[in-house]
Structure 1
Amino acid sequence: MKMLQKFLLLLGSVQLALVAAQTSGNFSILSYNVAGLPELLSSGDPATNTPLISSRLKAYNIINVQEDFNYHAALYASDTHAYRTPTSGGAGLGSGLNTLSDFPYADLNRVKWDACNLNSGDCITPKGFTFARVSVSVADAAGGFLVDVYNLHTDAGSDEGDISARAKNFAQVAAYIQKSSVGMPVIVMGDTNARYTRPGDSESLHSFLSTTGLTDLWVSKIRGGSFPSSGADDLVCQFPFPVGTSQADMNACEVVDKIFVRGNPALSFSFPRSTYANAHTAFIDASGAPLSDHYPILSTLVWELSPYVHMGDAVVGGPHGDAFNDLVDLFPTSQPPIASSAVPRLTSITLRGANRLDAISHTVQLPSTTSPAPSKTLTHGGTGGSPSTLTLSSNERITQIKACSGKHNSRTRVFYIELTTNTGRAVSAGKQTGDCVVMNAPGASAAAWGLVGFYGRSGDEVDRVAPLWAVVQ
């Protein structure tokens, strides 16, 4: 847990510089089914091709691979990414899902599908999806932010049982995203085994996108936002592509490997400036043959942080309880980028605590042209402890947070929090420990930044907490 806190503290320190500069940037993401089944079960030559794949992965910032089974060591052998998920085992034991990243990650979780269909070998190995919270940083911008990265491999095949199992797979990962990535930027990429033209799959894909708020980069970038019609002829890619096939033709056909993304009020992805490509020509052997039975798909995502809302500075506590993110309630209808006029103002906050931090309840005044302006109260945690309330004056804002964590019943929780305003007034709850973090509002610009809410995890108590800062009007 201390390693996680060090990772988040480092992220917090670079986030302040990023907010001050209001910078944008980009990073590359790649999804690739590397066909790493045992030689006897493989349609290709993984013993020969996997080392060739390995040496070419370093060009991309975040990579999700599927079917990384029995040649995992060879896949990692020539790769230079600093952060790589450990194998979950060979075929029959592991999911074959791994992530290679230039950026650190935390909270890795592997989840097995609840449903599978017996044909195509889907029930033989524990296929499913993975979750990791990645800290994206850009060296020349000296900044970073958090994004939740999902890797998946759904049920294969095209018969009725496969399509039904696949629909349940999509519903399962969508429910996980709704619960664990509430209010967070999200990237989902992997082998979906699904096509928009296939009845059943089309409905599952559309439901997945509408439930999660994700955008399919192939549909957005290559088809101008126009989805293929269910029941239409499949837009199948030739395999392999004939020599001389244009990049436009390689991009135009539909592959089952897909990339879905979304931003949040603090971070926007620019779809017009981002790219999408079938990266076939980057992964061929000396004779021009593909190194896998799937094509790799590639995107360069262009991002921009909001100049008015910021997720920072660090996170204190452990991965327990249920996730919450006040961005969802503070900006329920706003799409990034957020306008300054849409930012609410914190007016009061109540902390409950005794030995630990039991609950946080805060009230914000919502932007409005009416008088008095409407307000909203948000509460996280339970009902224990004694309350302490701080009501802010019109020109007062919370600019510093001190939070401490500790172990209770073998779980890391928030034991103490103290909030201090720009006038020096403070409110606190709980008991301090030896593991404390001080978080300050972004202060390198002339804007008046202050606390507007929180994100983290809670149950009967507050398990994890981090601030949401905003420019106070």
Structure 2
Amino acid sequence: MHSLVSILLPLLSVIPSTISQSSGTFNTLTFNVAGLPAILNDNAVPGDKTANTARIGRLFTQHNISLIHVQEDFNYHATLYANDQHPHRTPTSGGVPVGSGLNSLSNFPWTGFERVKWEKCSTFEGADCLTPKGFTFMRVNFGQGVWIDAYNLHADAGTTAADLAARASNLRQVSNYINTHSTGNPVLVFGDSNTRYTRTGDIPNIFSTANGMKDAWIELIRGGVAPQPGTDALLCDNPSPNSTCEVVDKVWYRGSPAVDLRAVRLQYAGAKFLQENGAILSDHNPVLVDFAWRLK
């Protein structure tokens, strides 16, 4: 009997770890970190940009967020990384005017990282052609056999006809890339879309209609009903005390035949990212989303 127990116990100890690999959780954050040189744009944020960026990096580590996509990570990038401790981080593509400002910080490893420049940009309001803005792609390993394609984007800003056309082109470019490179895969798209459901001419629903994805804000906060173009703008304070207003920082996602992926909580996390005196660190509300996955 003793020999039988000694054989079975090691086998039984393996079972919980095997079961745990069939499901899991993680969270994501999209945050425009206002990293343009202060002489070009102070982003209406008080204080010193270097000090503010250092605090953002420390808060990234403190909150232990699984996967972070940042935008406008330009000339203060070294400070951001010097104060962050995520084990996996993308190398910078440079400051203004050579870099895209897009980077990712993760607790999970990835493969296949790529940077893609927009095919179309506009200079009418946002000087969007000043830097090679675009989107990034990576395939993130969230668990044994669980790979999710993650996209970070920073779309054209502005509201002129040229800006609207450029931004629509940007989102179509990402959508087409997903259809080519992520067929049959679970997908996350989150970043600064500069788009609003309430703005006539914007196309934030393209990932739903063309890629079978859900907008986490529409699903969890709006009960599945998107605001109509031309309605009240639902503009947010910064930091926003609630998530019922609309920001341009979006999170879209889908599962796959192999992986059930669900967004379970969304919050505007501006209150988690403030200066020590309570002032804002960026002109954007960061968006934090909790996800749960399960192998089918």
**Structure 2 CA distance for partners of 1:198 and 1:172, relative to 1, 3 Å:** same
Q: How far did 1:238 drift?
A: 1.7
The residue matched to 2:168 in structure 1 has which SS?
A: helix
- Cα shift readout 1:315-347 (whole Å, capped 9, x = no counterpart): xxxxxxxxxxxxxxxxxxxxxxxxxxxxxxxxx
Residue 186 of structure 2 aligns with which residue? 185
Identity of aligned residues (%): 48
- Once residues 268 and 145 of structure 2 are traced to their aligned partners in structure 1, the CA distance between those partners, rounded to angstroms, is 27
Residues 1:46 and 2:38 are matched in the alignment:
no
1:161-172 paired onto structure 2 within 5 Å = 161-172=162-173
Q: How far did 1:78 drift?
A: 1.5
Report if the CA contact (8 A) 2:216-2:253 is conserved.
Answer: yes
* Residue segments in structure 2 that go unaligned for 5+ positions in a row: 1-14
Report if the CA contact (8 A) 1:236-1:255 is conserved.
Answer: yes
Number of residues of Structure 1 aligned to a counterpart in Structure 2? 275
Residue 298 of structure 1 aligns with which residue? 288
Residue 70 of structure 2 aligns with which residue? 65
Residue 209 of structure 1 aligns with which residue? 208
Residues 1:239 and 2:244 are matched in the alignment:
no
Residue 55 of structure 1 aligns with which residue? 58
- Cα shift readout 1:228-249 (whole Å, capped 9, x = no counterpart): 01110101002355xxx4xxxx
Residue 470 of structure 1 aligns with which residue? none
- Residue of 81, 84, 92 corresponding to 1:76: 81
The residue matched to 1:162 in structure 2 has which SS?
A: helix
- Once residues 21 and 31 of structure 1 are traced to their aligned partners in structure 2, the CA distance between those partners, rounded to angstroms, is 27
- Once residues 166 and 105 of structure 2 are traced to their aligned partners in structure 1, the CA distance between those partners, rounded to angstroms, is 28
- Once residues 239 and 134 of structure 1 are traced to their aligned partners in structure 2, the CA distance between those partners, rounded to angstroms, is 31
- Once residues 146 and 129 of structure 2 are traced to their aligned partners in structure 1, the CA distance between those partners, rounded to angstroms, is 37
* Residue segments in structure 1 that go unaligned for 5+ positions in a row: 1-15, 138-142, 307-473
User: Greater helix percent: which structure?
Assistant: 2
Q: Which amino acid aligns with 1:277?
A: Q
Residue 10 of structure 2 aligns with which residue? none
Q: Which amino acid aligns with 1:127?
A: K
Report if the CA contact (8 A) 1:26-1:300 is conserved.
Answer: yes
Residue 259 of structure 2 aligns with which residue? 267
Q: Which amino acid aligns with 1:93?
A: V
- Once residues 134 and 257 of structure 1 are traced to their aligned partners in structure 2, the CA distance between those partners, rounded to angstroms, is 21
- Compute the RMSD of aligned alpha carbons: 1.6
So what's the TM-score if we normalise by structure 1?
A: 0.56
- Once residues 227 and 168 of structure 1 are traced to their aligned partners in structure 2, the CA distance between those partners, rounded to angstroms, is 21
Higher RCO, 1 vs 2 (CA within 8 Å, ≥6 residues apart): 2
- Once residues 67 and 206 of structure 1 are traced to their aligned partners in structure 2, the CA distance between those partners, rounded to angstroms, is 24
Runs of 4+ aligned residues of structure 1 deviating over 3 Å after TM superposition are 16-22
User: Greater strand percent: which structure?
Assistant: 1
- Once residues 67 and 39 of structure 1 are traced to their aligned partners in structure 2, the CA distance between those partners, rounded to angstroms, is 12
Residue 323 of structure 1 aligns with which residue? none
- Once residues 251 and 100 of structure 2 are traced to their aligned partners in structure 1, the CA distance between those partners, rounded to angstroms, is 19
- Once residues 40 and 29 of structure 1 are traced to their aligned partners in structure 2, the CA distance between those partners, rounded to angstroms, is 31
So what's the TM-score if we normalise by structure 2?
A: 0.89
Q: How far did 1:207 drift?
A: 2.3
**Structure 2 CA distance for partners of 1:19 and 1:205, relative to 1, 3 Å:** farther
Residues 1:195 and 2:196 are matched in the alignment:
yes
Report if the CA contact (8 A) 1:18-1:144 is conserved.
Answer: no
Residue 142 of structure 2 aligns with which residue? 136
- Residue of 88, 92, 95 corresponding to 1:87: 92
Q: Which entry has the higher C-alpha Rg, 1 or 2?
A: 1
